[in-house]
Structure 1
């Protein structure tokens, strides 16, 4: 039998047992090793996600790793037994945006594992084989479960185009922020400053390779000093604050998920400072390749971010920790 965590509607879940699903043509069946819980999953569970980006009833789980257990018709049999992760967006591969390599902007309609398609809060998950990113044989699958947020940050780094010697700031020291510190550190910045109100997170950022850490009050004294600012917090004021941190002609990349009512970016400051502002939602295939490559080379090590692990049966305890405000809570994993 194969178990799955089914969210029937906001606030209501149950563990179901079923026969293991069978992969169809072009698909693979993956035995899940670990699945991360992020704030998007909490929003799904609480019913706060935009209705256009979720479909109930749902098996959540978009951050995951596992081992290919079976392959469907038309799939290379050699994939069986391979450790892997997979892209979440079910891009069509044929629209103009996909053919330009911008698979996260697919015009074929939104579909994503764990939000509109069955996800990895389960013993098994089925995904199209074309979305797989196989890992090295010695890969740590526990750490690899964080390659989905790492791919988002890899997309932000691609958009930000860091150059050696530049002054870089990362706003927010959660999972995305700390992964950003690792990837941006590989570009040999002249300085890498992290902005976060939590002193403990700032100290962790220093251990991850940041050269400085300040709280938002301290950051106000650094406005206009950074060549590149990568925003990861998604807090009500951080988009506007990130733009103020950038120097004239600087670059800002927004990766946080903002709620309606967040402070807007001052258009006068934007135009007079000639800022380049980009946003990131998910990750295209190229960014996934970057993240998996960095992980395989040891440039990216997500394992220290993991603080809690739970079996599927304790999903209620796990989801309660996410977004609960405890500064000691980092990445929470489900281990089927």
Structure 2
């Protein structure tokens, strides 16, 4: 089958690889859509921290935001999965450690991350092999494109939930990329008054289409404080700035990752009695994201700028193909 293979920094191409065979407890999925995200770009450029930590190495096959149809099942897997439209969790814990047993497999020390960590081949290919336990069925009301937005949606749902978004709360989402805009949409669906802050107004129309009316820029900042702030940026200056804008007894949620350490004054954190929360992985949010999409409470398809074939993936990763207006490029390996 055809798959995208990273051979080194900025060295990527489509190659012929062996068709995966499901082992015990595993399935093989025919991939219909894959989203390209910032993590894939870091893997492509070689800037991903996992390389330096020895947790990832070239050659590597990326792709973790996917949807598709189960085409083969391994021993111990119910045949009822055959033909099912599904998405899969990126974080594959060992299943036996205390973290996995308490529902925190996404921070299991021995975890694989599909297409990212530990050498588990990703979904930028015609087929992907995953454990059956990682699967979530897609209802008919969630198409392939929207299905491939479940993984980022799971992260965003977790961020909005950690922010305590709900009726009577005022939430600022800092950074209007895919995760930021989805976080804003989930927070709005929960009943919060939602504000978005960006470097400029480039994605303001996308925020408006998702129902967010309060959009600010660095040059035109909001003149109010917030019950919660969600940092969806890669700017190390955002955490200390967020601490200034959050009200006493509020929350600051960190889901963005900066390339250098962020410095905050913990005295301000303590004296304002602020709760700081970190979010890694969308695992607990996948089912709620599917539910929101299926019921139309969040409609993420407008974020997809274009869908192209596997042969264009290297161009997308290199920034040489931007497509239309949106925050996400999708790959259809069947094209």
The CA deviation string for residues 21-61 of structure 1, in whole angstroms up to 9 with x for no partner, is: 11111001000001111111111011000123423211100
What's the CA shift for 1:319?
1.3
Instruction: Provide the C-alpha distance between the structure 1 equivalents of 2:323 and 2:20, rounded to a whole number of angstroms.
Output: 37
Q: Does 1:199 align with 2:208?
A: no
Q: Structure 2 matches for 1:137-148, cutoff 5 A? A: 137-148=140-151
What's the CA shift for 1:10?
1.7
Q: Structure 2 matches for 1:101-140, cutoff 5 A? A: 101-107=103-109, 109-115=110-116, 116-140=119-143
Instruction: Provide the C-alpha distance between the structure 2 equivalents of 1:166 and 1:158, rounded to a whole number of angstroms.
Output: 12
Alignment correspondent of 2:227: 227
CA contact (8 A) 2:230 2:254 kept: yes
Alignment correspondent of 2:102: 100
Q: Does the residue aligned with 1:218 lie in a helix, a strand or coil? A: coil
Alignment correspondent of 1:254: 254
CA contact (8 A) 1:195 1:202 kept: no
CA contact (8 A) 1:158 1:287 kept: no
May I ask how many residue pairs the two structures share in their alignment?
A: 328
Instruction: Provide the C-alpha distance between the structure 2 equivalents of 1:234 and 1:248, rounded to a whole number of angstroms.
Output: 25
Instruction: Provide the C-alpha distance between the structure 1 equivalents of 2:327 and 2:138, rounded to a whole number of angstroms.
Output: 24
Alignment correspondent of 2:219: 217
Alignment correspondent of 1:243: 243
Q: Does 1:182 align with 2:185?
A: yes
Alignment correspondent of 2:279: 280
Alignment correspondent of 2:297: 299
Alignment correspondent of 1:158: 161
Q: Does the residue aligned with 1:33 lie in a helix, a strand or coil? A: strand
What's the CA shift for 1:175?
0.2
Instruction: Provide the C-alpha distance between the structure 2 equivalents of 1:295 and 1:312, rounded to a whole number of angstroms.
Output: 26
Instruction: Provide the C-alpha distance between the structure 1 equivalents of 2:200 and 2:143, rounded to a whole number of angstroms.
Output: 29
Q: Structure 2 matches for 1:41-120, cutoff 5 A? A: 41-50=40-49, 51=51, 52=53, 53-107=55-109, 109-115=110-116, 116-120=119-123
Deviates more, 1:94-103 or 1:32-41: 94-103
Instruction: Provide the C-alpha distance between the structure 1 equivalents of 2:141 and 2:287, rounded to a whole number of angstroms.
Output: 18
Instruction: Provide the C-alpha distance between the structure 2 equivalents of 1:56 and 1:67, rounded to a whole number of angstroms.
Output: 28
CA separation of 1:279 and 1:308: change in aligned 2, threshold 3 A? same
Gaps of 5+ in 2: none
CA separation of 1:303 and 1:212: change in aligned 2, threshold 3 A? same
Alignment correspondent of 2:176: 173
Deviates more, 1:166-175 or 1:96-105: 96-105
Instruction: Provide the C-alpha distance between the structure 2 equivalents of 1:184 and 1:127, rounded to a whole number of angstroms.
Output: 31
Q: Does the residue aligned with 1:130 lie in a helix, a strand or coil? A: helix
CA separation of 1:250 and 1:196: change in aligned 2, threshold 3 A? same
Instruction: Provide the C-alpha distance between the structure 2 equivalents of 1:242 and 1:308, rounded to a whole number of angstroms.
Output: 33
CA contact (8 A) 2:163 2:171 kept: no
Deviates more, 1:24-33 or 1:151-160: 151-160
The CA deviation string for residues 150-193 of structure 1, in whole angstroms up to 9 with x for no partner, is: 1111221232222311111111111011101111011111x211
Q: Does 1:21 align with 2:20?
A: yes
Instruction: Provide the C-alpha distance between the structure 2 equivalents of 1:92 and 1:159, rounded to a whole number of angstroms.
Output: 25
Q: Does the residue aligned with 2:158 lie in a helix, a strand or coil? A: helix
What's the CA shift for 1:206?
2.2
Q: Does the residue aligned with 1:321 lie in a helix, a strand or coil? A: coil
What's the CA shift for 1:326?
9.8
Alignment correspondent of 1:4: 3
The CA deviation string for residues 117-161 of structure 1, in whole angstroms up to 9 with x for no partner, is: 100110000000000011113421012111111111122123222
Instruction: Provide the C-alpha distance between the structure 2 equivalents of 1:37 and 1:226, rounded to a whole number of angstroms.
Output: 32
Gaps of 5+ in 1: none
